[in-house]
Structure 1
Amino acid sequence: MRQGLLFTRHVLVRYVCSLLSYFVTTQFRCSNDLLVYPPEHTSTATSTSATATVSVSNTPTCSSEATRLHLSDPPYENYFYEDCASSSHVVVTSPLENSNLTIIGPRLLVAWPAGNSGVVAFFEPEDGKNGTLGIQLQNSTATGQTLDPVYLPTKNASSENPQVGVSGIINFNTSAILTVPILGSIRTIRDFTEGPSILITYIQGAISFSEIPGGGANLNRTWLDNVTTTYLGFVPINGSGAVSINRGVNTTLRFETGSYQFTASFDYPQLEPLSPSQVFNPSSSDLAQQDPDQATSLSFLSYTTKLLAGTWRFLTYFGRDSMLSLLLLQPVLSEGEGGAIEAVIGAFLERINRTDGSGCHEETIGDYSTYLNRNKNITSTAPQCDYKMIDTDYYLPIVLKNYFVDSATGKSRLSSFFNTTASVFEENSDLTYADLALIAAEKIMNTSAPFAADGGQTRDNLIHLKEGEIVGEWRDSTYGIGGGRIPYDVNTALVPAALHNIAALSTAGFFLEHPAWNETASQYAQVWEDKTLEFFEVTIPQSTAKSLVEQYVNESAFAGPSHTDNITSDIVFHGLALDGNNNQSIVRVLNTDDCFRLFLLNSTNQTQLSSFLDQTAGHILLPFPVGLSSPVGLFVANPAYGDDPVYAANFTNSAYHGTVVWSWQLAMTAAGLARQLGRCSSTTPPDFCAQPPLYTKLRTAYSHLWDLIDANAAQLSGEVWSWVYDSSEGFRVEPLGALPPPLGTSPTESDIRQLWSLTFLAVHREEFG
């Protein structure tokens, strides 16, 4: 019955469009069986199909202008459109001359925050010669815009939601074939792009192909919820040839050289966005004018109920990402009910696993959630969460204290906020935010107690990855922590920071069920702060260090100098993790995770603090492969001291957590160094402030880091970037996932905009006297 109703609607729209094209002299456009705004005017003198590609338009009534943004990151061109009705991110991929054509091909992708959903169309040249097909978007001659909204308020037979999306013009420089379309979930697209390129037969088989007036073709697929439908349509314009449907084992579309109007839309419930003016607090409202790029990007990822991690690949809720971003962005974010800060904290509490207090890592929603439920023989569209991470939990006490204890607005919101009843996950629907915060804090106290006990400072009592998992903190790729089971950042920074803040919250009146926590948590925190670093310390004698770096340069793909003359003493650092691959007791990879301890702790063990700051500053100042510094930024990993080929092989410039640069680590390192230097102005400054060589070294490292940040300003809003080295030019930035052969072997792309990479809106270079 439902299919019959949909067919009737499609036929009716086509019929109306055909009538309009015959009787109305003004050119309209009939595209994708939708009523599309605005019309693309074409001349009937140049196109026999022009009068058949006409339509009627409707637009949502918005109180503010639509937001548009174009970001170029060749071979990726990114276009954003957002209004009060919907948000869209369009990515056009067109290979460059030096692109690795085995992983980069012509592609049109549309990502929607609502439902973490989208569409993608993979193209190839009709003649089969890879690299000859180029695609690009063109501005509309009617509006002058690259993207325009699609809005159909009329409800169809199954959905109560308006049909929304975007329309634009795509140009092919030669005849092309649409080989693989995916309609529904960004997670499905991500898995296909980065995994073994396996598609789910019954999902792909549900895509319907049909001709539409004007020589066009329409694709649509109803989601597994049997309610939502995604549409993708193409109509030739400006004299281009008709789109032909080739039905076979896999149905494809054929395009002539020329331009085609595309329309991508769906009818899923939309999120309520936080506009650039709503996401910032009043004192930071001018950021929308000072830095419209980052402000617009932050707004695109910010909604009243949650903030999203990044786009296009991670256009959903990630607990760690949102909490870490809040820590760095809090000075500029909006407070109070409906503000960005409470959106982040509320989203975290809503998704806590009540059975063990774990925080949600990645939320799965929309079509992909229905798919996962179906795999379990469950008929449900309910959202799901991934709880495999071990670091996410520890951010909650820190942000709770920062807002509800240190902020006047937060204090005024205590009762109203914590009496809120959870509503996102049915299993939490009988719990308040206060209940969920307590469950999370109890987990931290219980799991940290063994190490804090008398005589409990053993390797076994440190925090390990969960059983059966190979990832558990931010370096969550297969080799991100070298196979380690006991991560450096979690044990030496996140656990003690969380405990310190639980103690502060208890003192402020939280957790009345545990009145002794103000003292107990403080005692635990001190033990974790003072006694964990020693487990991760790596010391390499000067001569051995030189030999290892020379060996790395000779055996790896790095073509630059070794810089071993800079090694003037033993090399000391803290390894990424314990219990790594090849039976390594410590993963001997130099890294930037010192930033967690710099930013989250005010250590009071003076000898330990001075030593830690000295070596951290040294790694920032020393050039790669001796240290972490390069003209393109600080590398988050340096495997040169690994003394095992497995590290050089896995920590490369094509690896997600290899010798690459992450923006948020630059921001946290800068903010952490500023925090430590700022302590020198306190009434009880740490000892290092009175040690001129060390204090000067720390200031020099801070200044050097900011010089690198400023030099790479164009990359800072992106997730991660890589590089190539040329003997004449030195280091040159390259997008991860777009490295030229033979380096470009990873299908992992960097998000053009990542939530925690927008933290430079709040992190700035500071002056120290």
Structure 2
Amino acid sequence: MAALHTHICVFIVALLLQATAFAADCAGQPTRLQLTDGPYENYFYSDCNSSSHVVVTSPLSTSNLDYIYPRLLIAWPAGNSGIVAVFAAQNGQRGTLHINLGGNDQDELLQPVWIAGTPNPVVGVTSSITLDSPAILTVPILGSIRVIREYTEGGRNTSPDQQAQNRLSVDGAGGAMIKRTWYDNTTTTWLTFTPSNGTPSITIDNGELRFGAGTYKFNASFNYPQLTQLIPQRLLNTASTDLIDSRAEDVNSLSFLSYDSKLLAGTWRFLTYFGRDTMISVLLLQSVLSDTTIEAGISSVLERINKTDGTACHEEIIGDFATLTNKVDFNKTSNSPSCDYKMIDTTYYLPVLMKQYFIDSAMNASRAEEFLQTKASFLDENKGLNYNQLATSNAQKIMTSAAPFAKNPVQANLIHLKDGQQVGQWRDSANGLGGGRIPYDVNTALVPAALRAIAALSTAGFFADHPDWATLANQYAAIWEDQTLHFFEVNVAQNSAKSLVNTYVKQANTSVPSEADAIESDVKFYGVALDGNNGSWPIVRVMNTDDCFRHFLLETTNQTQLSSFLNQTADNILRPFPAGLATPVGLFVANPAFGGDADYASEFTRIDYHGTVVWSWPLSMMAAGLSKQLKRCEPRDDSVPDFCNQSALYSKIVSAYNYLWDLIEKNMAQLSTEIWTWNYNGTYTVVQIGAISATESNIRQLWSLTFLAVQRNTFT
């Protein structure tokens, strides 16, 4: 039996190593991309058969070895699946083992694997890794990216049940194979290694693979149904095809995340559907996207609506993780996908996106009827329903949730996080809202924007069973626009503000200057949430970038409020952190300096996911939002807003807009990544957040690619 097992393993390894010889032909050249974000080297390969992202991690001399370790990771969009192989030096000394992709021949970097099979071919990538010293493969995880993500960010804990499914073997040629059959008992993932150029054979010791120093060819593959990628020519509209050459890296990155059935949030950690990410991205990118891409985004959201209450899906659960979830959470044997509906913000984007596509762009109005008759097919529970029914369910959810405040505008009737949840919108980390339960962005921007969109869609003939929404939604919207901001407003007298930033610098134990001299007047901002952990204040007193939602999504007409709102946004962009939001590395998404509590300083730091860090997409939305507001000053048939004729205020807004763009252009190198942080040693320098914390930034994020469409404008 042992001899037969070895023979079978040798055959399988040989077959995988020769996989490219049997690859199915693809018209056109494959897409390859290499991106460096030390200590991570990222390699992408896509063709008509499959797409792969390979990450090779080697510690740098400056790396925090608690978070950075030698690693080979492969991520696949299909099934949100992948492999991670964690290595350690055989000498036991951290930081002494380094890995690089490819041997001496750089042409070896990422070639495709394709083997005919039933019901699905085996696909993936092959290349080589070079180890500079003897190594042990300590942890192999094969299956779901969700599981790999939880391992890397959750204390490096593995599932004994899943790891027991790994099958390790070596062959007579010195190679080795790890394979795992998924929980569906059908799909298999393989990872094979073979020594080359005299490199020592691989051995098994105590259930671990041991490697010598040298180069090993590897194949990473699986047999799961693949997605149809939107290549750049299908991804962009005809007016934007010049971007294929002029912005090739970003277009190819966007293409890697775009498929005919959905758009994916980011890679490698979020290589699947996220509703919020999809809709924010399409809203910002619409001017350059093809109808095919936009409709893929809209349909993916409609497919995943909770039919019982109209809630939009936050994150889909697919592939190996879906089978596991069905077994553990629902006690059933099923591979069917499901959805996470805990977020409260995602629901409100859908009508805004539908209005922008079907109403604001007249040429798309003719598509609406046919599109809305499409039958849902992704979730079992939605099959048989058409998109019109699902869109109506979503709009009904919004109208119902908005009604209490519209009828009685008190704080208790604002939109709260769901019971039992500590997250519910984009600041979805444990401390992202400072313990707040009533988010600023949802209540002051998303709800009224959704209501305005429902009114416009109803006027255009959508929601035929609810003709009253054309008037009622506008009435609700006016109340939400005008009567929500004051709940979140924070005003700090000038002297108190100076004292607070000086205290904050000490509390945060940071060497950055307090910038108290930049505070030349009272400080005003809107806190990230209400009902926070600090009982001393009803507002979570954290300055933030979420003003961008209101600027981008609304055109309010309460002139006094609008002028004041724009004024405080401009002030907080122009003032340097911690007096404001601005640093040479970008705008921080949170500034806790005015909280008056040491807990704020400890909960919103440079290693926190939603702390004193920079995200790309709020820079993009803020730039697009301020541009939208300034464009309201251009001559129209109707009157322009009052701020346009207030020369000092208008000039300040233009200055803030231009300064924001100066910061954006200064940080072009990292704009397409998810998030970055900083060091300060007399000046700010950009740091990869994964180098100093357990949170690893995605090298490419869907909504971080929106600068393909968001461009700098000139205002005088």
Specify the alignment match of 1:310 in structure 2.
Answer: 266
Instruction: Rate the CA distance shift 1:197–1:35 in 2: closer, same or farther, 3 A.
Output: closer
The one-letter amino acid of 2:361's match is S
Mapped contact 1:352–1:440 kept (Cα < 8 A): yes
Whole-angstrom CA distance in 2 between matches of 1:379 and 1:332: 43
Specify the alignment match of 2:627 in structure 1.
Answer: 674
Specify the alignment match of 1:280 in structure 2.
Answer: 236
Whole-angstrom CA distance in 2 between matches of 1:293 and 1:8: 48
Work out whether 1:383 is the aligned partner of 2:312: no
The one-letter amino acid of 1:513's match is D
Among 353, 369, 372, the residue aligned to 1:399: 353
Shift, 1:685, TM fit = 0.9
**CA-to-aligned-CA distance 1:649-689 (integer Å, 9 cap, x gap):** 01000000000000000000000010000000042210000
Whole-angstrom CA distance in 2 between matches of 1:304 and 1:718: 23
Work out whether 1:642 is the aligned partner of 2:595: yes
The one-letter amino acid of 1:688's match is F
Shift, 1:409, TM fit = 3.9
3-state SS of paired residue (1:675):
helix
Specify the alignment match of 1:768 in structure 2.
Answer: 715
Whole-angstrom CA distance in 2 between matches of 1:441 and 1:36: 53
Work out whether 1:196 is the aligned partner of 2:149: no
The one-letter amino acid of 1:152's match is I
Whole-angstrom CA distance in 2 between matches of 1:400 and 1:527: 22
Work out whether 1:754 is the aligned partner of 2:701: yes
Shift, 1:33, TM fit = 4.4
Specify the alignment match of 1:367 in structure 2.
Answer: 320
Shift, 1:153, TM fit = 1.1
* Pairs within 5 Å for 1:678-697: 678-683=631-636, 684-697=639-652
Specify the alignment match of 2:679 in structure 1.
Answer: 724
Mapped contact 1:506–1:518 kept (Cα < 8 A): yes
Q: TM-score w.r.t. structure 1 length?
A: 0.91
Specify the alignment match of 2:534 in structure 1.
Answer: 582
Specify the alignment match of 1:24 in structure 2.
Answer: none
Shift, 1:582, TM fit = 2.7
Shift, 1:181, TM fit = 0.4
* Pairs within 5 Å for 1:574-723: 574-583=526-535, 584-683=537-636, 684-723=639-678
Among 196, 199, 210, the residue aligned to 1:254: 210
Among 160, 164, 173, the residue aligned to 1:205: 164
Mapped contact 2:103–2:130 kept (Cα < 8 A): no
Mapped contact 1:405–1:508 kept (Cα < 8 A): yes
The one-letter amino acid of 2:428's match is D
3-state SS of paired residue (2:33):
strand
Mapped contact 2:134–2:210 kept (Cα < 8 A): yes
Whole-angstrom CA distance in 1 between matches of 2:177 and 2:146: 23
Specify the alignment match of 1:150 in structure 2.
Answer: 113
The one-letter amino acid of 1:236's match is P
Work out whether 1:301 is the aligned partner of 2:260: no
Q: TM-score w.r.t. structure 2 length?
A: 0.98
Whole-angstrom CA distance in 1 between matches of 2:681 and 2:670: 20
Mapped contact 1:93–1:135 kept (Cα < 8 A): yes
Among 515, 520, 534, the residue aligned to 2:467: 515
Mapped contact 2:416–2:437 kept (Cα < 8 A): yes
Whole-angstrom CA distance in 1 between matches of 2:104 and 2:90: 26
Stretches of structure 2 that go unaligned for 5 or more consecutive residues are: none
Whole-angstrom CA distance in 2 between matches of 1:271 and 1:179: 32
**CA-to-aligned-CA distance 1:66-115 (integer Å, 9 cap, x gap):** 00000000000000000000100000110111211112100100000000
Specify the alignment match of 2:219 in structure 1.
Answer: 263
Instruction: Rate the CA distance shift 1:657–1:203 in 2: closer, same or farther, 3 A.
Output: same
3-state SS of paired residue (1:325):
helix
Work out whether 1:562 is the aligned partner of 2:562: no
Shift, 1:311, TM fit = 0.3
The one-letter amino acid of 1:697's match is K
**CA-to-aligned-CA distance 1:130-152 (integer Å, 9 cap, x gap):** 111111112573x7141111111
Work out whether 1:488 is the aligned partner of 2:476: no
**CA-to-aligned-CA distance 1:409-456 (integer Å, 9 cap, x gap):** 421211211001111011011210000000000010011011111xx1
Shift, 1:558, TM fit = 2.0
Whole-angstrom CA distance in 1 between matches of 2:390 and 2:384: 10
Whole-angstrom CA distance in 1 between matches of 2:443 and 2:562: 16
Work out whether 1:84 is the aligned partner of 2:45: no
Specify the alignment match of 1:245 in structure 2.
Answer: 204
Instruction: Rate the CA distance shift 1:760–1:410 in 2: closer, same or farther, 3 A.
Output: same
Stretches of structure 1 that go unaligned for 5 or more consecutive residues are: 16-29, 39-56, 739-743
Among 90, 97, 113, the residue aligned to 2:77: 113
The one-letter amino acid of 2:246's match is Q
Shift, 1:213, TM fit = 4.5
Shift, 1:212, TM fit = 2.8
Whole-angstrom CA distance in 2 between matches of 1:384 and 1:461: 30
Specify the alignment match of 1:36 in structure 2.
Answer: 18
Shift, 1:753, TM fit = 0.3
Whole-angstrom CA distance in 2 between matches of 1:12 and 1:261: 19
Whole-angstrom CA distance in 2 between matches of 1:9 and 1:165: 24
Shift, 1:31, TM fit = 4.2
Mapped contact 2:103–2:215 kept (Cα < 8 A): no
3-state SS of paired residue (2:263):
coil
Specify the alignment match of 1:552 in structure 2.
Answer: 504
Mapped contact 1:152–1:162 kept (Cα < 8 A): yes
Specify the alignment match of 2:178 in structure 1.
Answer: 219
Whole-angstrom CA distance in 1 between matches of 2:172 and 2:632: 70
3-state SS of paired residue (1:737):
helix
Whole-angstrom CA distance in 2 between matches of 1:382 and 1:11: 36
The one-letter amino acid of 2:57's match is T
3-state SS of paired residue (2:491):
strand
Mapped contact 2:268–2:698 kept (Cα < 8 A): yes
The one-letter amino acid of 1:435's match is Q
3-state SS of paired residue (1:154):
coil
Instruction: Rate the CA distance shift 1:10–1:317 in 2: closer, same or farther, 3 A.
Output: farther
Mapped contact 1:32–1:218 kept (Cα < 8 A): no
- Root-mean-square deviation over aligned CA pairs: 1.4
3-state SS of paired residue (1:89):
strand
Whole-angstrom CA distance in 2 between matches of 1:140 and 1:327: 45
**CA-to-aligned-CA distance 1:598-622 (integer Å, 9 cap, x gap):** 0000010000000000000011111
Percent identical residues: 57
**CA-to-aligned-CA distance 1:134-175 (integer Å, 9 cap, x gap):** 11112573x7141111111133xxxx1000001111011111
3-state SS of paired residue (1:581):
coil
Whole-angstrom CA distance in 1 between matches of 2:635 and 2:209: 68
